[in-house]
Chain A
Amino acid sequence: MSAHPLPSHESASETHHAHSHGHGAGHGSLKSYLIGFVLAAILTAIPFWLVMDGVLDSKLATAVLVMGIGAVQIVVHMVYFLHMNPRSEGGWTLMALIFTLVIVGIALAGSLWVMHHLNTNMMPMTQDMMKNMP
C-alpha cells in the first residue's frame, strides 16, 4: 500500500485518456478488464440459461433475447477488451468499424431476404416429383 491517497475516479480516467491519446489500441486498466469480464460472463450465462433450461415458453422471444444479448456482449467486448473509442487513431478505427458493419448488414440481411423469397417462390414439390429426384 502506498502512502499516497488514491486518485479519484475522474482524475484516474482523465490521466488514462491523456496517456492513451493517439494510439490505435488504447490500454486498459485492471479495473476495466475485470468490469468487461464480469459483464461478458453475465451476458454469456443468460442466453445459455434461457436456452438450456427453456425458461421462456415463446421460442421467438428466446431467439430475439439471445441475439439481442449477443449484440450487447459484442459491444462490451469492443469497449472493454478491444478498447474501442471514437478518438483512437483520429477516429479512423471507428470509421472502419462503421463501414464494416454497413457491409455486414447488407450481406447478412440481403442474403437472408433474397434466399427466403427464392425459397417461398419455389414451386411446391409433390410426392411424385420427390420420387423422381436425381
Chain B
Amino acid sequence: MSETQVKENQAPQFYLTEDHHPENSTMLGFWLYLMSDCLIFAVLFATHGVLGRNYAAGPSPADLFDLKIVALNTAMLLFSSITYGFAMLQMERNARMETLFWLGVTGVFGAVFLALELYEFYHLILEGAGPTRSAFLSSFFTLVGTHGLHVTFGMIWLVTLMVQVKKHGLITENRRRLMCLSMFWHFLDVIWIGVFSFVYLLGALV
C-alpha cells in the first residue's frame, strides 16, 4: 500500500501551470514590510523635527546645504523611478533585454544619487560639520544616512536581480522579485520627498 504511494509520488507533478501572474500574498507581505520601514523613517523624521534646530553654536542648515546638489539628487531619484517603471512595462511584454536595459539605466541613476550624497557627506565632514558636531547634524546624518543605506541595499538587490534575469530569464520567481524591488524603489523615492521637503527645503528656509 505504501509502495504504490511512493511510486505515485516519484513522478513529480506540478499544478502550478499558470506562470503568468503570481497569485499569492508576497506582495501584501512586502507591503507590510514597507509599512514597518515607514515607521522607522517616521521616528527618524520625528527625531530630526525635535533636534533640527539645536545647532550647539555650530553651523545651521542655511550655512551648509547646497540646494542645487539636492535638486540634482532629487532629479536622479525621480528619473530612476520612471526608468524602473519602464523596466516593469518591458517585463510585462516579456522582453528580457529591454528589461535589463532599463534596470541598468535605473542602476546608473541610483549610483549617481549615491555618489552625490557621499560627496555631500564628505564635504560636510571635511568642513567640520560631521555627525558629532551638533544634535541637528546627528539627526540629519542618521535620517539621510538611513535613506542612503536603503538605496545602497536597493542597488545590491538590483544588480543581483539583473544577474538572475540574465541567467534564468523572466521566470515567475524573477517577476515576483522584480515587483517587490519595484515597490521598494518607489517607496524610497516617496521617503525622499519627505527628506528634501522637510530636512533640506525647510531647513534652508529658517
Contact = CB atoms under 8 A, between A and B. Distances in A.
Interface of A: 22-25, 27-30, 33-34, 36-37, 40-41, 44, 47-48, 50-52, 59, 62-63, 66-67, 69-70, 73-74, 77-78, 81-82, 88-89, 92-93, 96-97, 99-100, 103-104, 107-108, 111-112, 115
Given A27-B88, A33-B86, A108 B42 contact: yes
A82 B187 contact: yes
Given A41-B78, A89-B25, A48 B186 contact: no
Contacts of B75: 44
B45 interface: yes
Nearest to A103: B39
A52 B70 CA distance: 11
A134 to B, nearest CB: 14
A58 B146 CA distance: 32
Interface in B96-130: none
Contacts of A100: 35, 38-39
A70 B28 contact: no
Interface of B: 21, 23, 25-28, 30-32, 35, 38-39, 42-43, 45-47, 49-50, 67-68, 70-71, 74-75, 78, 81-82, 85-86, 88-89, 92, 179, 182-183, 186-187, 189-190, 193-194, 196-198, 201-202, 204-206
By Cβ-Cβ distance, the 6 closest A-B pairs, closest first, are A24-B27, A70-B197, A111-B46, A33-B85, A104-B42, A100-B35
B190 A77 contact: yes
Contacts of B39: 100, 103-104, 107
B50 A74 contact: no
A28 B190 contact: no
A107 B42 CA distance: 7
Contacts of B78: 37, 40-41, 44
Contacts of A82: 183, 186-187, 190
A25 B197 contact: no
B74 to A, nearest CB: 6
Contact of B197 (A67, A92, A111): A67
A59 B186 contact: no
Contacts of B71: 48, 52
B35 A24 contact: no
B27 A89 contact: yes
B189 A77 contact: yes
Given A59-B206, A74-B194, A24 B28 contact: yes
